[in-house]
Amino acid sequence: MVIKTFDEYQTAYKHSVDDPESFWAEIAQEFQWRKPWKKTLQWNFTEPSIKWFVGGKLNITENCLDRHLATRGDQPAIIWEPNDPHEASITLTYRMLHDQVCRMANVLKRNGVQKGDRVCIYLPMVPELAISVLACARIGAIHSVVFGGFSAQSIADRINDAQCKLVITADGAYRGNKEITLKGTVDDALIGCPSVQRVIVMTRTRTPIAMFKGRDVWMEQELKQVTAHCPAEEMDAEDILFILYTSGSTGKPKGVVHTIGGYMVYAAYTFQNVFQYKHDGRTGPQVHFCTADIGWITGHSYIVYGPLACGATSLLFEGVPTWPDAGRFWDIVDKHAVNILYTAPTAIRSLMSFGLDKVKNHDLSSLEVLGSVGEPINEEAWHWYDDHIGKNRCPIVDTWWQTETGGLMISPIANVTPLKPAYATLPLPGVQPILVDENGKEIEGNGVSGNLCIKFPWPGMLRTTYGDHERCKQTYFATYPGLYFTGDGCLRDEDGYYRITGRVDDVLNVSGHRIGTAEVENAINMHTGVVESAVVGYPHDIKGQGIYAYVIIDQPPVDNDTDLMKRDILATVSRIIGPIAKPDKIQFVVGLPKTRSGKIMRRILRKIAEGELGNLGDTSTLLDPAVVEEIKEGVV
Ligand code: 6R9
């Protein structure tokens, strides 16, 4: 399944388009199935209904763990680097990881979790997070990991949507010089979550927390009660592996559903090929360091499932890139002889701003492949990454994909695909992109741009949105009938290379995090005294996009303290969604530019936020063009 040359890529790509079923069947055969599948693919994009490896039976943890024991039981599976560089790092071999996953799986069973039950995981980036995820998969429970930066309200919404029975959390988390409460936040969330019967709590920060009798148990004590023997549950290829919530242009975040067989094959295939992972690297099995949090899809696919399905060594880092100083990533690369570094443009831009001093004095010679994900990478950041981190000898794979796609979609293959800075380059085998205009008409040829859609299923794609299939259909398959719509704009240059230009819907990408403008507006509108708000993105040097909020209030703030009121609004957004959704700028306005039919003209607000005051385009259809002048005067 490994592509080694550009010719092989072209051959594989052609095969994957001419005969997708035989292409993916060949790859899937390399995994361990309890029962073979009867039909490779059944699909339509209308309902939509997508099934891969129909009738096949397997357990993904047998593929990620058991399968490797004979050949690489003593090889590191996970290397954990703690937040504090003075705390010892931990290495878990495949044998140790297998043992711990089985124990945790038995703890889940002991606490009433059965096949098909949903488990919410709200943990810091510690080995127990990966172990908990795999423990769910071991017994056929469905995990829903919630990123540690989300608020109690966001946790509650996600728990209720999926009707989770159990929550796994920790007393607290370390992030840089901060200590964050997790259990307290979960306690707040659970006031409104009747489905939760049990909370398993691990100790990380040893901060005092409430433990409620009959509901809360200590992970450490539970683990003492079980053995390391836990046979894997036999699962159907199309059983749900996990739910992961993500923001869209409307309403609350939706639970993207991935199923076991297709997701596994796709995560592993893309991992192996794009990063060209080597078991026989210069110093043994390569060390793969993906800096994402497991709370996002990147962590699911390229810290946990992809690397482990391939028997790789995956590094899991608890902390942040800028603590104790902005050299932390380089310190980790040096310390653990990292070979593959996969991070986000926002991290690169942030580290760039600290200058080269923090890069010097670190030996980065172990690096062989660099990756980028989460948002478009600008050329300046691309070159800095190439020059100063890769020393012009490591290919950069700019990987475009989404929570919904499960794995990488448009990306170079390291040392195979000729690169072009800031381009995600070419579709991977099995991926059939198509650009369409506003009316859904295909834009053919090269040197064109349009809305990016995918016209044929790939094994890692989402199957539904949890509990609301109609929403899945409307969001992804109704805009352009017969196509999966990504929400991204894209250009295809004269060489047929793809460059993703950013979202064309009302989704923001702030430091690589997806945030819906409607979500932020709803949170702002919950604040006392706010009448209405409109949120748009604007270019931000480090974050990629910043959040600009225009807010109408019903009366002057108490004591006329507008600054305090802005901070109160930020506190409200933090409470409702989490700190990651806090606007960077708030402007109080007396009105919003609306059309006669009452629609906010975001185009104008976007231009103003971008500072393009002289170039607002046609404002004649506005109900009250005077508000625009007023807004322009009050720009922050
Ligand atoms: C994996 C992940 C998905 C959105 C996607 C797009 C943006 C991701 C990108 C990229 C340009 C890249 N995006 N990778 N844009 N170049 N290499 O990030 O998933 O959190 O669901 O975000 O991120 O806009 O639609 P997710």
Q: How far is the CA of 219 from the centre of ligand 1 (A)?
A: 35
- Regarding the beta carbon of 143 and ligand 1, being less than 6 Å apart is answered no
Domain span at 584: 511-634
- pLDDT digits over 315-332, tens only? 999 999 999 999 999 999
**Judgement on whether residues 515 and 486 belong to the same structural domain of the protein:** no
Smallest Cα–Cα separation from 581: which of 628, 533, 627? 533
Provide the greatest CA pair distance for the chain: 74
The mean per-residue pLDDT over the stretch 454-477 comes to 98
The mean per-residue pLDDT over the stretch 4-10 comes to 98
Pocket perturbation via mutation, ligand 1, pick of 245, 302, 401 by most ligand atoms within 8 A of CB: 401
Q: Please tell me the residue having the least CA distance from ligand 1 atom 26.
A: 402
Residue type, 491: L
Smallest Cα–Cα separation from 569: which of 630, 523, 516, 628? 523
Q: How far is the CA of 403 from the centre of ligand 1 (A)?
A: 8
Q: What is the pLDDT of residue 321?
A: 97
Q: What is the pLDDT of residue 324?
A: 97
Distance CA 396, CA 377 (A): 11
pLDDT grade, residue 476 (50/70/90)?
very high
Interior/surface letters 21-41, b for 16+ CB within 10 angstroms, e for the rest: eebbbebbeebebeeebeebb
- Regarding the beta carbon of 505 and ligand 1, being less than 6 Å apart is answered no
- pLDDT digits over 195-216, tens only? 999 999 999 999 999 999 999 9
Q: What is the pLDDT of residue 1?
A: 83
Asked whether residue 481 carries a pLDDT value surpassing 90, the answer given is: yes
Are 450 and 437 in contact, with CB atoms under 8 Å apart? yes
The minimum-distance atom of ligand 1 relative to the CA of 377 is 16
- Regarding the beta carbon of 246 and ligand 1, being less than 6 Å apart is answered yes
Q: What is the pLDDT of residue 555?
A: 92
Other C-beta atoms closer than 10 Å to the C-beta of 213 total 6
Pocket perturbation via mutation, ligand 1, pick of 150, 263, 290, 375 by most ligand atoms within 8 A of CB: 375
Rounded to the nearest 5°, which phi and psi values hold at 28?
-65, -30
The minimum-distance atom of ligand 1 relative to the CA of 372 is 17
| Residue 367: inside a domain | yes
| Token couple for 385 | 């990454």
The pairing of strands 340-343 and 287-290 is parallel
Are 552 and 592 in contact, with CB atoms under 8 Å apart? yes
* Residues contacting residue 593 through CB under 8 Å, at least 6 positions apart: 600, 601, 604, 605, 619, 622, 624, 625, 627, 628, 631
| Residue 169: inside a domain | no
The pairing of strands 313-317 and 76-81 is parallel
Q: How far is the CA of 56 from the centre of ligand 1 (A)?
A: 31
Averaged pLDDT of the chain: 97
Distance CA 501, CA 482 (A): 23
pLDDT grade, residue 251 (50/70/90)?
confident
Q: What is the pLDDT of residue 557?
A: 92
**Judgement on whether residues 621 and 570 belong to the same structural domain of the protein:** yes
**Judgement on whether residues 485 and 525 belong to the same structural domain of the protein:** no
Three-class secondary structure of residue 509 per DSSP: strand
Sign of CA dihedral 267, 270, 273, 276: negative
Q: What is the residue whose two structure tokens read 């606490």?
A: 111
Q: Please tell me the residue having the least CA distance from ligand 1 atom 10.
A: 375
**Judgement on whether residues 332 and 375 belong to the same structural domain of the protein:** yes
Q: What is the pLDDT of residue 79?
A: 98
The minimum-distance atom of ligand 1 relative to the CA of 514 is 20
This prediction's pTM: 0.97
Are 85 and 324 in contact, with CB atoms under 8 Å apart? yes
The minimum-distance atom of ligand 1 relative to the CA of 501 is 11
ipTM for the assembly = 0.99
Q: How far is the CA of 137 from the centre of ligand 1 (A)?
A: 26
Distance CA 530, CA 526 (A): 7
| Residue 44: inside a domain | yes
Are 454 and 398 in contact, with CB atoms under 8 Å apart? no
Distance CA 478, CA 557 (A): 44
- pLDDT digits over 509-565, tens only? 999 999 999 999 999 999 999 999 999 999 999 999 999 999 999 999 999 999 999
* DSSP character string of 447-470: SEEEEEEE-S--TTS--EETT-HH
Q: What is the pLDDT of residue 623?
A: 87
User: Three-state SS string across 395-430, please?
Assistant: CEEEEECCHHHCCCCECCCCCCCCCCCCCCECECCC
Q: What is the pLDDT of residue 599?
A: 87
- Regarding the beta carbon of 346 and ligand 1, being less than 6 Å apart is answered no
- Regarding the beta carbon of 293 and ligand 1, being less than 6 Å apart is answered no
Q: What is the pLDDT of residue 265?
A: 98
**Judgement on whether residues 524 and 484 belong to the same structural domain of the protein:** no
Q: How far is the CA of 578 from the centre of ligand 1 (A)?
A: 20
Q: What is the pLDDT of residue 441?
A: 96
Distance CA 523, CA 519 (A): 6
Calculate ∠ Cα 37-38-40, nearest 5°. Answer: 75
**Judgement on whether residues 473 and 377 belong to the same structural domain of the protein:** yes
Are 548 and 587 in contact, with CB atoms under 8 Å apart? yes
User: Three-state SS string across 480-501, please?
Assistant: CCCCEEEEEEEEECCCCCEEEE
pLDDT grade, residue 597 (50/70/90)?
confident
Asked whether residue 478 carries a pLDDT value surpassing 90, the answer given is: yes
Q: Please tell me the residue having the least CA distance from ligand 1 atom 4.
A: 402
- Regarding the beta carbon of 345 and ligand 1, being less than 6 Å apart is answered no
Q: What is the pLDDT of residue 246?
A: 97
Other C-beta atoms closer than 10 Å to the C-beta of 571 total 13
Q: Please tell me the residue having the least CA distance from ligand 1 atom 12.
A: 400
> What CATH number is attached to the domain comprising 604?
3.30.300.30
- Regarding the beta carbon of 373 and ligand 1, being less than 6 Å apart is answered yes
| Residue 416: inside a domain | yes
Share of the chain above pLDDT 70, in %: 100
* Residues contacting residue 199 through CB under 8 Å, at least 6 positions apart: 166, 167, 168, 169, 183, 186, 190, 212, 215, 216, 217
The minimum-distance atom of ligand 1 relative to the CA of 512 is 18
Distance CA 261, CA 523 (A): 38
The mean per-residue pLDDT over the stretch 345-356 comes to 95
**Judgement on whether residues 452 and 534 belong to the same structural domain of the protein:** no
Distance CA 549, CA 233 (A): 49
Q: Please tell me the residue having the least CA distance from ligand 1 atom 8.
A: 374
Asked whether residue 471 carries a pLDDT value surpassing 90, the answer given is: yes
The minimum-distance atom of ligand 1 relative to the CA of 411 is 17
Are 563 and 132 in contact, with CB atoms under 8 Å apart? no
Smallest Cα–Cα separation from 142: which of 122, 163, 160, 124? 163
**Judgement on whether residues 439 and 308 belong to the same structural domain of the protein:** yes
The mean per-residue pLDDT over the stretch 216-229 comes to 98
Q: What is the pLDDT of residue 615?
A: 82
Q: What is the pLDDT of residue 379?
A: 95
Asked whether residue 619 carries a pLDDT value surpassing 90, the answer given is: no
Three-class secondary structure of residue 343 per DSSP: strand
Q: How far is the CA of 404 from the centre of ligand 1 (A)?
A: 10
* DSSP character string of 193-210: -TT--EEEEE-SS-----
**Judgement on whether residues 605 and 534 belong to the same structural domain of the protein:** yes
Q: Please tell me the residue having the least CA distance from ligand 1 atom 16.
A: 376
- pLDDT digits over 359-383, tens only? 999 999 999 999 999 999 999 999 9
| Residue 334: inside a domain | yes
The minimum-distance atom of ligand 1 relative to the CA of 404 is 21
Distance CA 541, CA 575 (A): 26
pLDDT grade, residue 596 (50/70/90)?
confident
Asked whether residue 159 carries a pLDDT value surpassing 90, the answer given is: yes
Asked whether residue 620 carries a pLDDT value surpassing 90, the answer given is: no
Distance CA 358, CA 356 (A): 5
Smallest Cα–Cα separation from 405: which of 292, 244, 580? 244
Three-class secondary structure of residue 49 per DSSP: strand
> What CATH number is attached to the domain comprising 464?
3.40.50.12780
- Regarding the beta carbon of 375 and ligand 1, being less than 6 Å apart is answered yes
Pocket perturbation via mutation, ligand 1, pick of 242, 256, 402 by most ligand atoms within 8 A of CB: 402
Distance CA 226, CA 184 (A): 27
Q: How far is the CA of 245 from the centre of ligand 1 (A)?
A: 15
Are 77 and 313 in contact, with CB atoms under 8 Å apart? yes
State how many domains the chain has. 2
Q: How far is the CA of 503 from the centre of ligand 1 (A)?
A: 9
| Token couple for 121 | 């995981």
Residue type, 3: I
| Token couple for 187 | 């306690």
Output the CA–CA distances (angstroms, integers) from residue 288 to 265, 377, 383, 414, in the order listed. 19, 21, 22, 14
- Regarding the beta carbon of 516 and ligand 1, being less than 6 Å apart is answered no
The minimum-distance atom of ligand 1 relative to the CA of 296 is 20
Rounded to the nearest 5°, which phi and psi values hold at 571?
-65, -35
pLDDT grade, residue 223 (50/70/90)?
very high
Asked whether residue 95 carries a pLDDT value surpassing 90, the answer given is: yes
In a 13 Å sphere around the CA of 84, the CA atoms on its Cβ side amount to: 10
| Residue 541: inside a domain | yes
Smallest Cα–Cα separation from 476: which of 460, 463, 467, 466? 463
**Judgement on whether residues 414 and 466 belong to the same structural domain of the protein:** yes
Q: What's the residue count for the chain?
A: 636
Asked whether residue 250 carries a pLDDT value surpassing 90, the answer given is: no
| Residue 121: inside a domain | no
Q: How far is the CA of 376 from the centre of ligand 1 (A)?
A: 8
- Regarding the beta carbon of 149 and ligand 1, being less than 6 Å apart is answered no
- Regarding the beta carbon of 405 and ligand 1, being less than 6 Å apart is answered no
- pLDDT digits over 494-521, tens only? 999 999 999 999 999 999 999 999 999 9
Across-strand partners of 369? 340
| Token couple for 100 | 């711990």
End-to-end distance of the chain based on CA atoms, in angstroms?
53
Q: How far is the CA of 297 from the centre of ligand 1 (A)?
A: 10
Q: How far is the CA of 548 from the centre of ligand 1 (A)?
A: 21
Q: Is 163 left (phi over 0), alpha (psi -120 to 50) or beta?
A: left
**Judgement on whether residues 471 and 516 belong to the same structural domain of the protein:** no
**Judgement on whether residues 297 and 379 belong to the same structural domain of the protein:** yes
Q: How far is the CA of 348 from the centre of ligand 1 (A)?
A: 16
The pairing of strands 498-503 and 484-492 is antiparallel
| Residue 164: inside a domain | no
Asked whether residue 483 carries a pLDDT value surpassing 90, the answer given is: yes
Distance CA 47, CA 457 (A): 13
Q: Please tell me the residue having the least CA distance from ligand 1 atom 19.
A: 402
| Token couple for 72 | 């690489």
Distance CA 266, CA 116 (A): 22
Q: Please tell me the residue having the least CA distance from ligand 1 atom 7.
A: 375
Share of the chain above pLDDT 90, in %: 95
Residue type, 468: D
